[in-house]
Amino acid sequence: MSRALSASTPVLLLLGLASAVGLRVAIGAPSVAESQGAGLVFAGALALVLVAAGWRPGPPHPSSILVGLAGAAVLVAGPLWLHLTSGLTEQAMPLTSFPGWALLIVLIAGTEEMVLRGALFDSCGRVVGPAGAVAVTSIAFALIHVPLYGPAAIPLDLAVGMWLGGLRLLTGSAAAPATAHIAADLCGWWLL
Amino acid sequence: MSRRLGAVILVLAAALLGLVWSAAPQSPPLYDGLANCSGPYKYLNPPAGLGPQHRNPTSGSTVEHVKNGKFTESVVQTKQAPARAPQALIQLGDGAVNLPSGITTVRLTVRPVPPPAPISNGVLDGNVYLFRAIGNDGSSLTLDPKIGGLLQLKKTGQELSARMELYRGGKWVPQSTLSFVNACYLATDARSFGYYALIAPSHESAFLTRYLPLLIAAIIILVLVITALVAIRLSRRVPTVEEAG
């Protein structure tokens, strides 16, 4: 691959990511984080970015799934502690709406991970090395969530982006961060 | 090499996570997700332009029998259709309600009411809810402030910066508010029954917060576009003599 093409791939992926975020915000504002329609469009746009990039996920190795689940346990530890200490013991939402919500979570978190820790990580790694890939994908992960949760979420999302990037490096596969991301998001049903 | 680097990054990330959680333990608890609130917010007095699905908010009540002269834990929430979150609820623990002698049952109620007084310090975000506890003799019972209860109000989604307030002593008083980045409600550790509401800052700042996500998204996209242009420019620069050789 030529140097120009090699360098432009992550840039084009970042542009695709930014466009998907812009679409999500335009559809979901002002309650972007609560708009299921905007979330679905976002996941669809990310899937298009993956198709355009020609990235195909390999079959997940069972050990990557296990590492991902352990990674999710760490991500959930803080919210679980808060949940137990704040007395939030009653889940306000009825269980009947869980399947639809969970499916959307899997789609959004899954496509996010395939773009960030899959296609973008691979292409960044070729240009700036693995540490640089972790840095770029962590910053991108934090930035795409700012329109949803505000700048206050940047430190936490940076840390989580690093954690997911570390899982990617440790296992050599996007399956581990994808599993961690999806599992931790799903736990949010019981933790909020 | 990558595995070792991955382990180092995991250690750093774990330390950073611990730091962030300890520095801001109340918000945000989760880093991502989708707010699991469904259904339109139902207003007592809907803003202009909203359809019938935004009307007729519900009330809720429950009756608890006193056991051994002590109030036992309970929850009262507004009734909701299947697959819909309640708009208001309070969770009370054992002994949370002060019981004069002779009280055998306690009726807990929550209902949407008009504001008891005009709101001068902001914009009402949704309904005002009146939480009460009534004894079997018709008397109003009080919440034990040492125990309190966890009170939650659903957000309308129209005001990003709303906070919980209690009407007390003729004015609205801000309460310590628990906010969650991807939850559809705000919560407070209530120390008394009464009128509770979500109140956002004035219209001017509410206008800003409404369009803040769009503004931030535009800035992020602009930064990424500039980065892309610079990166493409750098990748196409003329190679130096050393590189060409």
Rounded CA-CA distance A134/B48 in Å is: 48
| Spatial CB neighbours of A146, under 8 Å, sequence gap ≥ 6 | A153, A154, B216, B217, B220
More confident residue, A185 or A189: A185
Show residues of chain A in contact with B208, CB under 8 Å: none
| Spatial CB neighbours of B52, under 8 Å, sequence gap ≥ 6 | none
User: How many angstroms away from the CA of B102 is the closest CA of chain A?
Assistant: 30
Q: What is the mean pLDDT of chain A?
A: 85
Cβ <8 Å between B33 and A188: yes
Q: Distance between alpha carbon A140 and the CA centroid of its chain, in Å?
A: 10
Residue B138 predicted with pLDDT over 60? yes
Average pLDDT over residues A119-140: 91
Beta bridge partners of B64: B106
Identify the pLDDT of residue A88.
Answer: 54
User: How many angstroms away from the CA of B242 is the closest CA of chain A?
Assistant: 16
Tokens of B224: 């990424």
Show residues of chain A in contact with B231, CB under 8 Å: 7-8, 10-11
User: How many angstroms away from the CA of B99 is the closest CA of chain A?
Assistant: 23
Closest-CA residue of A relative to B148 is: A87
Residue labelled with tokens 């996007």: A174
Q: What pLDDT band is residue A106 in, cutting at 50, 70 and 90?
A: very high
Contact B41, B154 (CB under 8 A): yes
Cβ <8 Å between A160 and B160: no
Rounded CA-CA distance A92/A84 in Å is: 16
Residue labelled with tokens 């009947």: A96
Identify the pLDDT of residue B234.
Answer: 58
Contact A75, A180 (CB under 8 A): yes
Identify the pLDDT of residue B1.
Answer: 64
Show residues of chain A in contact with B7, CB under 8 Å: 166, 170
Q: What pLDDT band is residue A29 in, cutting at 50, 70 and 90?
A: confident
Tokens of B146: 């040492």
Residue B185 predicted with pLDDT over 70? yes
User: Among B95, B101, B93, B92, which Cα is nearest to B70's?
Assistant: B95
Complex confidence, ipTM: 0.89
- B24-36 pLDDT, tens digit each: 655 544 567 666 6
More confident residue, B189 or A189: B189
Domain ranges of chain A: 3-191
Show residues of chain B in contact with A147, CB under 8 Å: 213-214, 216-217, 220
Cβ <8 Å between B36 and A19: no
Residue A69 predicted with pLDDT over 70? yes
Return the percentage of chain A with pLDDT > 90, whole number: 46
Average pLDDT over residues B201-210: 60
Identify the pLDDT of residue B209.
Answer: 57
Contact A138, A161 (CB under 8 A): yes
Average pLDDT over residues B154-165: 79
Closest-CA residue of A relative to B188 is: A86
Residue B240 predicted with pLDDT over 70? no
Domain B32-203 has CATH 2.60.220: yes
| Spatial CB neighbours of B219, under 8 Å, sequence gap ≥ 6 | none
Q: What pLDDT band is residue B215 in, cutting at 50, 70 and 90?
A: low
Rounded CA-CA distance B126/B159 in Å is: 9
Average pLDDT over residues A146-156: 78
Contact B131, B193 (CB under 8 A): yes
- Quickly list H helices, chain B: 2-23, 203-235, 241-244
Rounded CA-CA distance A89/B37 in Å is: 17
Show residues of chain A in contact with B206, CB under 8 Å: none
* CB count in 10 Å sphere of residue B245: 6
Identify the pLDDT of residue A93.
Answer: 57
CA distances from A27 to A128, A129, B195 (A): 34, 36, 34
Show residues of chain A in contact with B209, CB under 8 Å: 30
- Amino acid sitting at position B63: V
User: How many angstroms away from the CA of B190 is the closest CA of chain A?
Assistant: 12
Average pLDDT over residues B208-215: 62
Most A-contacting residue of B2, B30, B186, B219 (CB-CB within 10 A), to test interface:
B30
Identify the pLDDT of residue B19.
Answer: 85
Q: What pLDDT band is residue A35 in, cutting at 50, 70 and 90?
A: confident
User: How many angstroms away from the CA of B85 is the closest CA of chain A?
Assistant: 5
| Spatial CB neighbours of B229, under 8 Å, sequence gap ≥ 6 | none
Identify the pLDDT of residue B201.
Answer: 77
b/e for A47-66, b at 16 or more Cβ within 10 A? bebbeebebeeeebeeebbe
More confident residue, B223 or A60: A60
Phi, psi of A57 (to 5 degrees): -75, 140
Contact B60, B84 (CB under 8 A): no
Rounded CA-CA distance A57/A113 in Å is: 11
Identify the pLDDT of residue B241.
Answer: 52
B194-200 and B74-77 strand pairing: unpaired
Residue B229 predicted with pLDDT over 70? no
User: Among A111, A118, A106, which Cα is nearest to A185's?
Assistant: A106
Average pLDDT over residues B11-37: 72
Identify the pLDDT of residue A141.
Answer: 93
